[in-house]
Amino acid sequence: MSSPGTIRVAIIGTGLIGPRHAEAVVKEPETDLVCIVDPNPAAASVAQRFDCPLFGSVQEMLASDSKPDAALVCTPNHTHVSVSKQLLEGGVHVLCEKPISIDVASGQDLIRCAHKNNRRLLIGHHRRFNKYVRAAKQAIPSLGRLVAVNGLWTLYKPLSYYDSPTEWRRLDSAGPILINLIHEVDILHYLFGPIVRVYAEKCLSQRGYAAEEGAAITLRFASGMVGTFICSDAVVSPHNFEAGTGENPTIPKVGEDFYRVFGSEGSLSVPAMTVWTYPDGKQSWTEQLENKSLEVSDDRAPFELQIKHFANVIKGREDPSCSGIEGLRALAVCDAVRTSMKEQRPVDVDLEDTPL
């Protein structure tokens, strides 16, 4: 039985991420987990763990007494739009895991569906709530005019990552560009504004699946800032968001840098949160650089903060941090990266003139 004033929430999909969202829903005082939807027989143990009903389809759930106010879509990438549209058309607010879709056109269609049905659509770029990202956001103005950023997302996924029931990760729509780089792009947008041009060289393929294994990418931001980024899920490396921040409990924390930001007045490394400047404004390569480590405040886990934010958006207390349009902007950059890899040319990114 839900408490008065709480938001009834359903989890759609019980892969790796669904149970973590369910835990966050249970911990948030303003949300109640009312059911789980997943046709996979293995989902029964997840429903039992959270002591809630299990349904085999969204339509079955919508017709039941467990119909929620809101739902988190945690299904494979290529199903995000179809599942989210069913929920929105059924009167349910949606927080859809990234990516919003696997192509820009269907992402636009999903945004239109949310508007038509007067429901909230948020995209699950939960790293906007990570304490290191929030600390970087606060520190960046002190760096002066932003000139460049260097980013890394490099690690090794074992072959078991692609085994059943997640063999869909072998597909062209499920490589690290859409699964992992899209998180990085959203963070870069959050910190530095829109990316407007990319050029990407594809990494060597070692597994032989349709899914790419990464790329080396150059970036141009609307502000004039430039950047480089290496993304690979098939190399041995400590330089990635998960190992750097310790956010994902399944990946051991190492603490090595994954972003370096360069400005006219200083530079910043993340997650070390070290700022380098010259003393008293004496800007010269012959001067001794000084550094200081910024404090990073502990807070609730990003998934928990995201659920709290989702509840506040539904209740009209906050505007979406990552709306459908923001999710679409990240997807458009990743789509441009994939196009650049295939066609071996720079690709412009422009959603300003694209109707929604």
CATH number of the domain that residue 14 is part of: 3.40.50.720
Average pLDDT, the chain: 94
Task: Confirm whether 240 is domain-assigned.
Answer: yes
Number of domains within the chain: 2
What is the Cα–Cα distance from 338 to 329, expressed in whole angstroms? 14
Q: Is the pLDDT of residue 353 over 50?
A: no
Task: Confirm whether 327 is domain-assigned.
Answer: no
Q: Is the pLDDT of residue 2 over 70?
A: no
Domain co-membership, 31 together with 172: no
**What's the pLDDT tens digit per position in 292-322?**
999 998 888 899 999 999 999 999 999 999 9
Domain co-membership, 142 together with 288: yes
Average pLDDT over residues 253-257: 96
Q: Is the pLDDT of residue 173 over 90?
A: no
Residue range(s) defining the domain that contains residue 93 = 7-127+302-320
Residue 117 token pair: 């049905």
Domain co-membership, 140 together with 256: yes
Task: Confirm whether 349 is domain-assigned.
Answer: no
Q: What is the pLDDT of residue 352?
A: 62
Q: What is the pLDDT of residue 355?
A: 46
Give 7 or 163, the one with higher predicted confidence.
Answer: 7
Least confident segment among 27-31, 172-176, 248-252:
172-176
Domain co-membership, 119 together with 205: no
**What's the pLDDT tens digit per position in 42-60?**
999 999 999 999 999 999 9
Name the residue type at position 107. G
Domain co-membership, 278 together with 172: yes
Task: Confirm whether 159 is domain-assigned.
Answer: yes
Give the SS3 label for residue 33.
strand
What is the Cα–Cα distance from 195 to 332, expressed in whole angstroms? 10
What is the Cα–Cα distance from 243 to 230, expressed in whole angstroms? 16
Average pLDDT over residues 115-132: 96
- The helix (run of H) or strand (run of E) holding residue 276 is strand 274-277
Q: Is the pLDDT of residue 156 over 90?
A: yes
Task: Confirm whether 90 is domain-assigned.
Answer: yes
**What's the pLDDT tens digit per position in 82-119?**
999 999 999 999 999 999 998 999 999 999 999 999 99
Q: Is the pLDDT of residue 325 over 70?
A: yes
What is the Cα–Cα distance from 296 to 1, expressed in whole angstroms? 38
Domain co-membership, 53 together with 139: no
Examine residue 99 and say whether the peptide bond preceding it is cis (omega within 30 degrees of 0): yes
Label residue 4 by pLDDT band (50, 70, 90): low
Question: Buried b / exposed e across 192-214, counting CB within 10 Å, b at 16+?
Answer: bebbbbbbbebbeeeeebebbbb
Q: Is the pLDDT of residue 198 over 70?
A: yes
% of the chain beyond a pLDDT of 70:
97
Domain co-membership, 208 together with 241: yes
Label residue 178 by pLDDT band (50, 70, 90): confident
Least confident segment among 73-77, 224-228, 277-281, 344-348:
277-281
Question: Order of strands across the sheet with 214-221?
Answer: 290-293, 274-277, 267-270, 259-263, 146-154, 226-232, 214-221, 195-202, 347-348
Question: Buried b / exposed e across 1-25, counting CB within 10 Å, b at 16+?
Answer: eeeeeebbbbbbbbbebbbbbbbbb
DSSP states of 53-90 = -EESSHHHHHTSTT--SEEEE-S-GGGHHHHHHHHHHT
Q: What are phi and psi of 59, to 5 degrees?
A: -65, -40
Task: Confirm whether 165 is domain-assigned.
Answer: yes
